[in-house]
Each structure stands twice: as structure tokens, then as C-alpha cells.
Amino acid sequence: MENTSFLYEFLHLFAGIGIFLTGCDIMSSNLEAVCSDRLKGLLSKVSNNKIVGVAIGTIATIAISSSSATTVMTIGFVNAHIITLRQAATIIFGGEIGTTLTGQLVALGMMGNNDIDLNFLFSSLAGIGVFITMFAKKEKIRLFGSVLTGFGLLFAGLDVMSGAMMGFSRSPALKTAIASINSSLLLIIFGAILTALIQSSTAMTSISISMVAVGLINISQGIYLTLGANVGTCLTGMLAGMKSDDVNAKRTSLLQLIFNIGGVVLVYVLDLIMKLVTGGSLSFGTIFEKMFPGFPHTQLAMFHTIFNIASVIIVLPLTDKLVDLTRRLIKDEPPKAKKERFYFIDENILSTPSIAVEQVKQEIVHMANISIQSFNIAMDMIKNLTFERQDELNDNEAELNFLNKELVELIIKLGQSKKLNRNDNRYLSSTYKTIADLERIGDYAANLASYARNLGEDRFSEAIINELEVMRNMINRLYLLIIDSYKADKRKVTKQIKDLHDNILGLSNLMVKIYIRRLNENELTAVSSGEYLKICNDTRRVSEHLINLIDTDYILNH
């Protein structure tokens, strides 16, 4: 092969990889949008049952077409304390099984003959998908069209890669050079490095299948390149884990690395033993050649699937020991001083936006809990004129300010994803005002605490304290009703919520109305009278900001 021809085929290969990865990304993005509700449902079913964890990891990886994405998503879940390290292990195991589906599809695309070219037929789905996307009116149908487009591009890229491999195979010198690479270890390292560079074990496995199909490499070489891809795919998870502040997130990425390297070492040793005992006549390559004679692409795809399933079967009973090993290798860190942070969101979860939306809701509910806690601390200060919880109130205020800024920035970033469906986008657009309302409740709590300090020795009368306690209790009941409605995504103002809110407004108006009488009867002093009016006003505002968490239009129109 001349230098110019070689360069042409090399660029041809890169073009195929680009089309293939683009197809994977389009298919993954839109599959995730289609399956977002199902993914959320899967997450809610995570349990300590190992089989369930493996099943969830398998299904999630098939749904988003990427084991790397599943790993990053899982690390995000661990970091956000949604799942335990043990549960994360089983999900990662399942992800290794789910990722083999693409290899099987690639092999299936090469199963055609002179009369039927399956790869060509699958590639044509890209055009069909584009037309569906262009003319469909319903969002789900457009998403389905986009999935077809990605699926077709995946096979179009594979066809281009196969063409490049065919061009390489016409060079006797290149074939001889590749055939001379007999070092299994070298092939594993090469597969790992290339996978790390293109950040896709799916692409590397597909390239290996194409190379085997055109005879550029033999099945044994393809097996070791695929094993290397299993190691290289850990890089994404390792980067995600090491960036995390959570020690269990780091352990999760290490767990995946140990699992994948352990499987590769086992196959390497067994293959070496078989070759030594039989004088080289028996190996994993020869075994799969005999199992699927005449179909080299199927041989490699089936090896990949069987290897990953067998690895999971072997390791699954040892999950607890593997988890304990990661705990010994990465020690618990000493407790750090409290600092503002997300409790349910990790940047890694952004790789799975549909799940990230659900965690945004959890973070907002957590923010609501902080704000109502601050309100109650401030009301205790007014009641008892004791201030030992001032530091707690200050910490809450700092955390609310942090969430007000950082959560909005994260939501803006999340909203730019093309993987979200219409409902998720609609929800995200409503969160900005919700977050602002919760931060304002924290501000009013801080105001109430300052009014308590301003009272000095002018303690309110027992009658006023009782009225404020009634107000506090009604606001807490209102909060519970509203937050239950918010969590259930039934953001309607029910009659019970409306009546309670009306009662709060009524009590506030009554307290203001009898203000002059209380002042004339010396129930209020010159100092306490001003703080009394401010407290009436700010408790009323707290209830109004709570109502804003659901349907404010209902209040305005009813």
C-alpha cells in the first residue's frame, strides 16, 4: 500500500469512527429522553438484592447505550448518597453486560450475504429517522425518529470503518506486520490506550469486530484488543470518581477497575495455561472458532458477551468482599467541618439528565426543609428570647445562599441538555422561582431572629405568644401539605391548602387590626410594638412564599 493510499484509508477509518460515535451519541441522548420516566422508576427499585442491581445496570446501559455513562451516573448516585457502595457494585456489573448488546448488533449487521446487506439496511434507518423527525408533530414520535437516526448512523459509521479495514487488508506488508504482533499483553495495552483515547469501549470493540471480519487480525488478537477495551473504559469512571469529594465515589471507580482488570487477568492466565498444556492448539480463539465456524465477527461478539456475563457470575457472590477490599484500599477520611454542598446532586449525574432532574427536585425539597427549620428556630427565639441556636440559623442561611446560587447555575447547565423530554424541561423552568422563594423564607427567618434580639427585655404577653404559636403551627401544617404536593408532582392548590392559607392571612390581619388596642392597653411597649408589626408582616410573607411553590395562579383566580 502506497503512503498516499495508506493515509487515505487511515482518514477513512477516522471518518467512520466519527460517524459511529455521533450515531451512538444521538441514539443515547434520545433513548434517554424516551426512557427518562422508566429510568427514574428503575432507580426507585434499587435494593440490596444483587440480581436486581445487575438487572438495573444492564437495562440502564442498554437504554443509554453506554457503560461509561452508567458508571459515571452510578458514581454520581453514590456521591449523592442515593445508593450504597454495595448497590453501586451490582449496577456496574450489570453495565458490563448491557454494553455487549452493541457488539452483537454490529455482528448482526455483518451477517448479510450477496443478496441481503443487513449493514446497508440498518444504515438506511438514518434517513428514515430524519424524515420522521422532520415531519412528526408529537414529541415521542420525533424522539423515536432521532433514535432511528442514531441507530442508522452507527451502522453507517461501521460500514465506513469496515471499508477502511478492507483497504488495510489489501496490504500484504501491513497484514504481515499486524500478524507478527503475538504478544497478548501488548494487544491488551494497545486496546486499553485506544479505548481511553476515543473514550468508547463500544467503538473499540466494533473496530476489533470489523478487523476480524475482513481478516486483518485473527480472532485471538481481536479477543485481546476487546479485553484491553474493557480496561480502557474504566478511565472515564476513574476520572469521575477521583474528582468527587466523596470517599465512596472514589471506591466505586476503583471497584470497576478491579472488576475489569480481574476479569482480563483471569482470561489471560487461563488462555496461557491452555496454550502451554496443548502446545498452542487450544485457546479461547480456537474455542470460539469451533463454536461459530465461518463467522469471525460473531465469534468475537459472542466472546465479548460470554466473557462479561461469566465475569459477573463469578464476581457477584464476592461483591461484599470486593466492597471491603475497596474500603481497605481507600480509607475513610476524617470528618470535615460543615460546609455548603449539594446533598442529592453530583456533577456526574448531569451525564444522565433525566435522573438529574429528579435529584434537583430532591435538592429543592432539602432546601425547603432548611428554610422551614430556620423559620422555626427564629420563632423559638421570639417565644423564649434565647439565642443559643443562632449559629445553626447562620449555617442554614449560608447553605440557603449557596443553594440559591449554585443550584440555579447547575439547573441552567442541565437545561441545555438535549436529552430531556418536554415535562422535564417544563419542570426545570419552574425551579428558578421556587429556589428564590425558599431563599426568601430563609431571609425572613433571619429577620424574625433579629426582631427577637431587638425586643431585649420587652417580652410579648402570653396572649401574643399564643397567637404567634397558632400562626407558627398553621404555617408548619401548610408547609407539610405543600411539600407533599410538590414531591408527588401534584402541584395544585387543594381546598385544604387554600383554607389553611386563608386562615393564616385572617390571623395576620386580625393581629394587625387589634394592634392599636394592645398598644393602648400597654400590652405592647414602644419597642415591642414595632417588632410586633414586623413579625405579623413577615410570617404572612413566609406563607405566601410557601404557596408559590405550587400553583400561585389558583390563589389569584379563586
pLDDT of 555 strictly over 50? no
pLDDT of 522 strictly over 50? yes
Residues 6+ apart with CB under 8 A from 316: 50, 54, 90, 93
The DSSP string of 302-368 is HHHHHHHHHHHHHHGGGHHHHHHHHHHHSPPPPPPPP----SS--GGGGGSHHHHHHHHHHHHHHHH
Q: Which residue has the higher pLDDT, 1 or 4?
A: 4
pLDDT of the residue at 249: 77
pLDDT band at 26 (very low <50, low <70, confident <90, very high): confident
Which cell numbers hold the place of 191? 486496546
For range 504-524, the mean pLDDT: 87
pLDDT of the residue at 340: 67
- Burial readout 204-221 (b: 16 or more C-beta within 10 A, e: otherwise): bbbbbbbbbbbebbebbb
Q: Which residue has the higher pLDDT, 457 or 547?
A: 547
Q: Which residue has the higher pLDDT, 194 or 39?
A: 194
Lowest average pLDDT, out of 31-45, 288-302, 395-409, goes to 31-45
pLDDT above 70 covers a percentage of the chain that reads 86
Give the CA count within 13 Å in the CB-facing half-sphere of 241.
26
pLDDT of the residue at 552: 45
pLDDT of 49 strictly over 70? yes
Give the CA count within 13 Å in the CB-facing half-sphere of 508.
21
Residues 6+ apart with CB under 8 A from 118: 108, 109, 110, 111, 112
Q: Which residue has the higher pLDDT, 457 or 274?
A: 274
Lowest average pLDDT, out of 256-265, 318-327, 328-337, goes to 328-337
Angle value at C-alpha 44, between 58 and 69, nearest 5 degrees: 40
pLDDT of 90 strictly over 60? yes
What is the C-alpha to C-alpha distance for residues 450 and 454, in angstroms, rounded to an integer? 6
Q: Which residue has the higher pLDDT, 13 or 221?
A: 221
pLDDT of the residue at 394: 93
pLDDT of the residue at 478: 93
Q: Which residue has the higher pLDDT, 117 or 523?
A: 523
pLDDT of the residue at 399: 92
> What letter would DSSP give residue 376?
H
pLDDT of 157 strictly over 50? yes
* Contact between 90 and 315 (Cβ < 8 Å): no
pLDDT of the residue at 479: 94
Lowest average pLDDT, out of 129-138, 439-448, 469-478, goes to 129-138
> What letter would DSSP give residue 460?
P
pLDDT of the residue at 553: 47
Taking alpha carbons only, the member of 344, 350, 347 closest to residue 424 is 350
pLDDT of the residue at 39: 61
pLDDT of the residue at 450: 93
What is the C-alpha to C-alpha distance for residues 518 and 503, in angstroms, rounded to an integer? 21
pLDDT of the residue at 179: 67
Which tens digit of pLDDT belongs to each residue from 470-510?
999 999 999 999 998 888 777 677 888 888 989 999 998 98
Phi/psi for 317 (5° steps) reads: -65, -20
* Contact between 154 and 24 (Cβ < 8 Å): yes
* Contact between 480 and 551 (Cβ < 8 Å): no
What is the C-alpha to C-alpha distance for residues 231 and 228, in angstroms, rounded to an integer? 5
pLDDT of 1 strictly over 50? no
What is the C-alpha to C-alpha distance for residues 290 and 131, in angstroms, rounded to an integer? 44
Q: Which residue has the higher pLDDT, 180 or 541?
A: 541
Residue type, 152: G
Angle value at C-alpha 29, between 149 and 423, nearest 5 degrees: 115
* Contact between 360 and 428 (Cβ < 8 Å): yes
- Mean of all residue pLDDT scores within the chain: 82
Which cell numbers hold the place of 160? 465506513
Lowest average pLDDT, out of 149-158, 273-282, 449-458, goes to 149-158
* The most confident of 34-38, 75-79, 221-225, by mean pLDDT: 221-225
- Residue at grid coordinates 440559591: 404
pLDDT of 558 strictly over 60? no
For range 40-57, the mean pLDDT: 74
422-427's contacts with Cβ under 8 Å and 24+ in sequence apart are 422/139, 424/36, 424/353, 424/354, 424/357, 427/357, 427/361, 427/489
Taking alpha carbons only, the member of 269, 161, 241, 256 closest to residue 206 is 161
Which tens digit of pLDDT belongs to each residue from 190-246?
888 888 887 777 778 888 888 888 888 889 889 999 999 888 888 777 776 676 667
Lowest average pLDDT, out of 235-244, 311-320, 394-403, 532-541, goes to 235-244
Angle value at C-alpha 214, between 208 and 219, nearest 5 degrees: 50
For range 382-407, the mean pLDDT: 91
CA distances from 379 to 399, 456, 481, 519 (A): 19, 15, 20, 22
Domains of the chain and CATH, by start: 3-329 (no CATH), 347-557 (1.20.58.220)
pLDDT of the residue at 161: 79
Taking alpha carbons only, the member of 141, 171, 165, 232 closest to residue 20 is 165
pLDDT band at 379 (very low <50, low <70, confident <90, very high): very high
Taking alpha carbons only, the member of 62, 64, 50 closest to residue 93 is 50
